[in-house]
């Protein structure tokens, strides 16, 4: 019989019915699939279930789909904080415990927190930990500069934010290159900016090079249309004002203006930029 994997999906055979549900065969003995998940299941049939432990540390099966399984990363919402730690919403009836000793930073209700889901080898309980450094892969040979990637924001540094790249590698998102509000737990689409010789990876929320210029051009054109054809910004406008209003750097703004002007999409005035009608 295949070894039961706690905190993961297992295909198990139904063995017998009970008033509380259906008992399933496993390498660890029988475990209960509660009545509301049984459906048309009959003894002798197989079913794919997620296995974890209940509040009394008994093995239990469910057909509910968790937001993360053992040995994976996820950004999860804190539902409540108690004397034993924080409880996270991971899509199951029983919330996922993030113990105090495993917290990178203290959290409060409604925070998003990036965690590694693990099965505690001492207790067989599925728990979360936000001290994730030991689980981050070092060899990022498959990444390429300008590649589009998922970024998961997990820590703040003096330079900016540490992120998980594709839920595997670590990267740095620089504060001075951010043109929108970022908070811990955010999951963003981003790009590989630079693969450094020391193995560190710089990332950005904006595409770099020609692709980045075209993206800024498209964004600015859309903003002009949404604003009725006029925006009160030009090359003498304050960089922080442009950043706050348009979510782009002044450099990107000026490049986008140049492209739109050459395309004869806009005209430039002392008051700002206007769409050509």
Q: Tell me the backbone φ, ψ of residue 9, rounded to 5 degrees.
A: -85, 145
Give the span between the Cα atoms of 30 and 27, in whole angstroms. Answer: 8
pTM for the full model?
Answer: 0.75
Domain of 42 in residue numbering reads as: 9-62
- Written as six digits, the tokens of 169 are 């590698």
- Written as six digits, the tokens of 76 are 């999860």
Domain identity same for 199 and 232: no
Give the span between the Cα atoms of 13 and 41, in whole angstroms. Answer: 10
Task: Single out the residue of 205, 90, 85 nearest to residue 152, CA to CA.
Answer: 205
Ramachandran region of residue 245, left (φ > 0), alpha (ψ -120 to 50) or beta? alpha
Please check whether residue 149 lies inside any domain of the structure. Answer: yes
Could you say which of 176, 204, 232 is where a domain stops?
Answer: 204
* Cβ proximity of 79 and 89 under 8 Å: yes
Q: What is the pLDDT of residues 154-173, one digit of tens each?
A: 999 999 999 999 999 999 99
Domain identity same for 122 and 143: no
Give the span between the Cα atoms of 191 and 17, in whole angstroms. Answer: 52
CATH at residue 14: 2.40.50.140
**205 DSSP β-pair partners:** none
Please check whether residue 170 lies inside any domain of the structure. Answer: yes
Q: Would you state the pLDDT for residue 210? A: 52
- Written as six digits, the tokens of 153 are 């924001």
The full 3-state SS of 193-215, as one line of letters, equals EEECCCCCEEEECCCCHHHHHHH
7 pLDDT above the threshold of 90 = yes
Please check whether residue 231 lies inside any domain of the structure. Answer: yes
Domain identity same for 180 and 149: yes
Assign 99 a pLDDT band (cuts: 50, 70, 90). Answer: very high
Distance linking the first and last C-alpha atoms of the chain? 73
Q: Would you state the pLDDT for residue 10? A: 95
Assign 208 a pLDDT band (cuts: 50, 70, 90). Answer: low
CATH at residue 238: 1.10.10.10
The total domain count for the chain is 4
Please check whether residue 1 lies inside any domain of the structure. Answer: no
Task: Single out the residue of 169, 170, 168, 185 nearest to residue 71, CA to CA.
Answer: 168
* Cβ proximity of 242 and 233 under 8 Å: yes
Q: Per-residue pLDDT averaged across 8-28, rounded?
A: 92
Question: Which run of H or E residues covers position 255?
Answer: helix 250-262
């Amino acid at each position: 019989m295949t070894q039961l994997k706690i905190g993961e999906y297992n295909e198990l055979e139904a063995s017998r019915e009970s008033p509380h549900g259906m008992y399933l065969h496993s390498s660890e003995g029988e475990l209960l699939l509660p009545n509301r998940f049984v459906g048309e299941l009959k003894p002798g049939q197989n079913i794919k279930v997620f296995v974890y432990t209940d509040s009394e540390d008994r093995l239990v099966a469910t057909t509910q789909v968790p937001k993360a399984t053992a040995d994976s990363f996820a950004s999860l919402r804190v539902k409540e904080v108690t004397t034993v730690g924080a409880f996270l919403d991971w899509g199951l009836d029983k919330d996922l415990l993030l113990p105090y000793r495993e917290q990178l930073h203290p959290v409060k209700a409604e925070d998003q927190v990036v965690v590694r889901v693990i099965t505690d080898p001492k207790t067989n309980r599925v728990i979360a930990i936000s001290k994730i450094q030991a689980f981050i892969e070092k060899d990022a040979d498959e990444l390429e500069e300008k590649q589009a990637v998922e970024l998961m924001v997990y820590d703040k540094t003096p330079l900016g934010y540490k992120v998980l790249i594709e839920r595997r590698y670590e990267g740095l998102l620089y504060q001075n290159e951010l043109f929108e509000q970022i908070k811990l737990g955010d999951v963003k689409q981003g790009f590989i900016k630079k693969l450094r010789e020391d193995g560190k990876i710089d990332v950005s929320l904006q595409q770099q090079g020609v692709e980045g210029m075209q993206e800024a051009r498209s964004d600015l054109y859309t903003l002009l249309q949404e604003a009725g054809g006029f925006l009160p910004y030009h090359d003498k406008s304050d960089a922080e004002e442009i950043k706050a209003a348009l979510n782009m750097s002044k450099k990107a703004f000026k490049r986008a203006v140049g492209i739109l002007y050459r395309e004869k999409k806009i005209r430039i005035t002392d008051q700002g930029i206007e769409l050509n009608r």
